[in-house]
Structure formats: structure tokens, C-alpha cells
Amino acid sequence: MTEVREKTQSLSAAITPQEVSRWRDEFPILRNKIHLGNCSQSPISRRTKLAMDEYIGSLANHGMDWPGWMSRVQQAKAQFARLINADVGEIAVTMSVSDATAAVAGALMPKTGRSKVVTTAMEFPTVGQVWLANVQYGWDVEFLPEHNGCLQMEDFSQALKGDTALVSVTHVSYQTGALTDIAALAQLVHDRGALLYVDAYQSLGTVPVDVKRDGIDFLSSGTLKYLLGIPGIAFLYVKGSLADSLSPGMTGWFGQRDPFAMETTRLDYAPETRRFDTGTPPVMAAYVAAAGLGIINEVGVERIRRRLLDLAAFGMEEAMRRGFKVLGPRDPLHRGASLPLQVEDAHSAEAELFRQGIIASARGPALRLAPHFFSTEEDIVVALNALAEVVKK
């Protein structure tokens, strides 16, 4: 753990134990449960509960408040833009990463000479499935292999030919926690004349992302995991210099220049990335997203990253001491926030831990313990001890 701490000194000041204790009070569930399922669903905070209540109150008291609702949607966009160092005009609202990926696929469309999408076997299934569904429209999809739960830059280098239009990659693997070097990949992709799409669902809120610095063309993420939100909303970043040249086939009235012009027989795309908005936005989820993203931006992702690196090093050491096999890279600097352990019948193990008041998340062979900045070393020890007893049975 000392080595990891030395490597993270360049990050922002550490989150103190006093801050952790104060923030734990913000999440009522932590009073009686150990919540290490943040890679799947974060706990509800007092602020996000209040945001839900505010929306319900607006319905009860006003019946319809479009100006107020759209203001909150705009606040959510602004918080997401701040998180990734984008301009708010570069952010669109979608319902899910599936929708965002489909929108990008439809907006690009295969062109003569460039009809290949290079992606990987490490993607969350929904992303790969969207690209495969678009083969019928002319895309040629190539999946690169993973190597012990990681991606290799050499595979991208060999796959990127003159026919490649887009590289679609996860920032952090949902199953192994492996972290992709996005900046290095972006340089390679652009050198070959292609564009880069990043699924950041498993990284945002725990790993600093700067779309300008990192050279990202498209990025999507929902908020129900480390961004402290709920299902039903996701955001799509499209680089400003690129957005106006695209004509998304997946559109709707909120993707138009004036949604309330009510011009059924005219298609008039909004400027910038707002053209990727579709139908009526998920207003209640936007209220919650603005609140959850606000917490992350208040704490600071660099500070969160530093804390989670320490927890990752501690958790990995404790897991291996108990004989668990940790999936993915051993160096916490090459990982996201989750600690995936290879467990026989991981889903049954998840269910048994849940009965004991411990929230974890199973995916395939991995039982994932995913702390957040408010988690403690004691949380990890209790969860590992309980899991060790479960796998003995």
C-alpha cells in the first residue's frame, strides 16, 4: 500500500477520515448495510432523495412546470459537462448507454472506404450488441480479444486499417476492472484517421476524465453507478467541432432547434450536441442526476481516485491473503474502482451476502466488491470474511 500512496501524491489532497464519516451520514443505508455494489447501483443519498421529492412536489403543486423541469435537465447536463471538462453544448440526454451508442451508430453511418467498427470482447454486452445490430446497415464489426482481462494496444494498432471509421471501447471493464489508457488509444485512433467512442459507465466518478485532454470524440455514461443516480438517464458527449456535421437518425422533438415549434413535416436539428436529444427527457431522473453529480463534483474526482487507490490496494492484499483470485491487473493504478474476485457461482454468493446485509455485485464468474469514497477498510474486511465463509459451504 505504501507504493500506491507514493504514486498518488500528485493527486489532490486525500479525503480525511473525518470527511468519510461526514459523508457516510449522507447515505442512510450505510447505517445498517455494507454497500459495496457501486459498480452496479450506488446508494441513495439524502440529496438525491430530496431531488426526487422536489420533482414529485412539482407535480403535486403545479401539475405541469416545463420551465422548471427543463431548467433541472440543463443543470444535470451542466454537472456532467463539468465532470468531464466539456462545454454544456456538447452534452445530450439519453435514456441509457444503449440509446447513446445506437444514436452514434445511426449518426455516423458507414461511408465508402470506412465501414469498420473496431471494438473489444471486454465491452459491456449492450455496446457490442448495438454494433452487431447495425451490421444490417453496412457496418463491419471486429472484436479484439482480451488478455487476462486486459486490452493490449498492439491489438488496436494491428486492427486499425484504412477502412476503420470508429473505435468503440470501455474505459473500465465491468467484469475485471481493467483500466484502458484512453489518451494513448485516442492518439493511435486519430493517427489512423478514425474516431473514438468511450463507454465510461464503470469509470466516471472514480477516475478523472478530461475529454479535451484525452482526445475523446464520443463518450457516454449513465448515472446509477458511481455517479450516485438512478436508472433512466444517461448522457452523451459529442465533440463540439464534430456534432454539427452529424445527422442522427435517432432523434425526436427535443433534438430540434425549437422543440415547441410543433413542425411535424420539418426536420430542423438543434445546433451542437443537443441534436442528439430525442423525446421528452427523463425529468425525475434528471433531478436525481443533478444532485448525485453535484456530490461527485463537490468531493472532486481526483480526491476520490486517490482514496479508491488506497482501498483497492488494501482490498487486493486482504483478498489474496484469504486465497481469493483477483481478476484483472494487480496494479491498482491500472484498475478502476471494483475488486472482482473469481468465485464459483458468483450470483448465489451475491444473494447470500445480501441476506447478511452486504451488497456486492456478480457478473459472470466475478463477484465484484466495489467501494466508493465513503466506503471504509472495515467494510471490505467484513465483506471478505463473509464471502470466505460463503465459499466454504
360: domain CATH number? 3.90.1150.10
- pLDDT tens-digit profile of 37-61? 999 999 999 999 999 999 999 999 9
50 falls within a domain: no
Same domain? For 291 and 308 the reply is: no
Same domain? For 274 and 352 the reply is: no
CATH code, domain with 290:
3.40.640.10
DSSP 177: -
Mean pLDDT, rounded, for 285-305: 98
Inter-residue contact 280 to 48 (CB < 8 Å) = no
Same domain? For 179 and 324 the reply is: no
118 falls within a domain: yes
* Strands 116-120 and 218-222, sheet pairing: unpaired
pLDDT at residue 267 tops 90 = yes
pLDDT confidence band for 2 (50 / 70 / 90) = very low
Residues 6+ apart with CB under 8 A from 381: 318
What single letter denotes the amino acid at residue 344?
E
Same domain? For 19 and 71 the reply is: no
Domain region containing 207 = 65-297
In 3-state terms, what secondary structure has residue 363? Answer: strand
Residues 6+ apart with CB under 8 A from 57: none
- pLDDT tens-digit profile of 140-154? 999 999 998 899 999
Inter-residue contact 339 to 312 (CB < 8 Å) = yes
Strand (E) or helix (H) holding 238: strand 234-238
- pLDDT tens-digit profile of 350-383? 999 999 999 999 999 999 999 999 999 999 999 9
pLDDT confidence band for 393 (50 / 70 / 90) = low
6 falls within a domain: yes
Same domain? For 192 and 238 the reply is: yes
Same domain? For 81 and 14 the reply is: no
Alpha-helical runs (H) found in 25-96 = 46-62, 66-84
Q: How does the average pLDDT of the chain come out, rounded?
A: 94
Task: Give the CA distances from residue 200 to residues 101, 106, 186, 360, in Å, rounded to whole numbers and listed in that order.
Answer: 12, 20, 14, 20
CB atoms within 10 A of CB 268: 11
> Nearest Cα to 251, choosing from 236, 240, 229?
236
Same domain? For 277 and 305 the reply is: no
Inter-residue contact 174 to 328 (CB < 8 Å) = no
208 falls within a domain: yes
Q: Indicate the residue among 265, 297, 329 that finishes a domain.
A: 297
Inter-residue contact 285 to 230 (CB < 8 Å) = yes
Residues 6+ apart with CB under 8 A from 377: 311, 314
55 falls within a domain: no
Q: Indicate the residue among 297, 325, 349 that finishes a domain.
A: 297
User: How many domains does the chain contain in total?
Assistant: 2
Backbone angles phi, psi at 275, to 5 degrees: -65, -15
Q: Which residues pair with 57 in a beta bridge?
A: none
> Nearest Cα to 225, choosing from 375, 370, 52?
370
Same domain? For 288 and 381 the reply is: no
Q: What is the structure's pLDDT at 1?
A: 46
331 falls within a domain: yes
Cα–Cα distance, 361 to 379 (Å, whole number): 15
235 falls within a domain: yes
* Strands 34-35 and 358-359, sheet pairing: parallel
Residues 6+ apart with CB under 8 A from 60: none
198 falls within a domain: yes
Same domain? For 134 and 119 the reply is: yes
pLDDT at residue 7 tops 80 = no
- pLDDT tens-digit profile of 53-87? 999 999 999 999 999 999 999 999 999 999 999 99
Q: Indicate the residue among 297, 316, 331 that finishes a domain.
A: 297
Backbone angles phi, psi at 101, to 5 degrees: -65, -45
pLDDT confidence band for 11 (50 / 70 / 90) = low
Same domain? For 123 and 236 the reply is: yes
Task: Give the CA distances from residue 258 to residues 4, 266, 274, 275, in Å, rounded to whole numbers and listed in that order.
Answer: 51, 11, 11, 11
Same domain? For 343 and 373 the reply is: yes
- pLDDT tens-digit profile of 173-231? 999 999 999 999 999 999 999 999 999 999 999 999 999 999 999 999 999 999 999 99
Same domain? For 121 and 225 the reply is: yes
